[in-house]
Amino acid sequence: MNQQRDPIQRIHLIGAAGSGKSTVARLLADRLQSPWYELDVIGYEGGWGAKRSLAQRLADIERILAQPRWITEGIFLWWPHSLFSAADVILWLDLPWYLSLPRIVTRHICADWAGNNRHPGMIKLLKFVWYCRGYYLARTPTIPTDPNQDGPVTRVTVEAFLAPYTAKVIRCRHPQAIERFLQGLPQT
In a domain? residue 72: yes
Average pLDDT, integer, range 35-44: 93
For residue 1, being part of any structural domain is answered with: no
What is residue 150's predicted lDDT score, i.e. its pLDDT?
78
Within a domain: 65: yes
**What is the extent of the structural domain holding 120?**
10-183
Total domains in the fold of the chain: 1
Tell me, what's the pLDDT at 171?
97
CATH number, domain at 87?
A: 3.40.50.300
Look at residue 3 and tell me if it is in a domain: no
What is the per-residue pLDDT across 11-30, written as a single tens digit (0 to 9) for each?
A: 999 999 999 999 999 999 99
DSSP 75-134: S--STTHHHHHH-SEEEEE---HHHHHHHHHHHHHHHHHHT--SS-SHHHHHHHHHHHHH
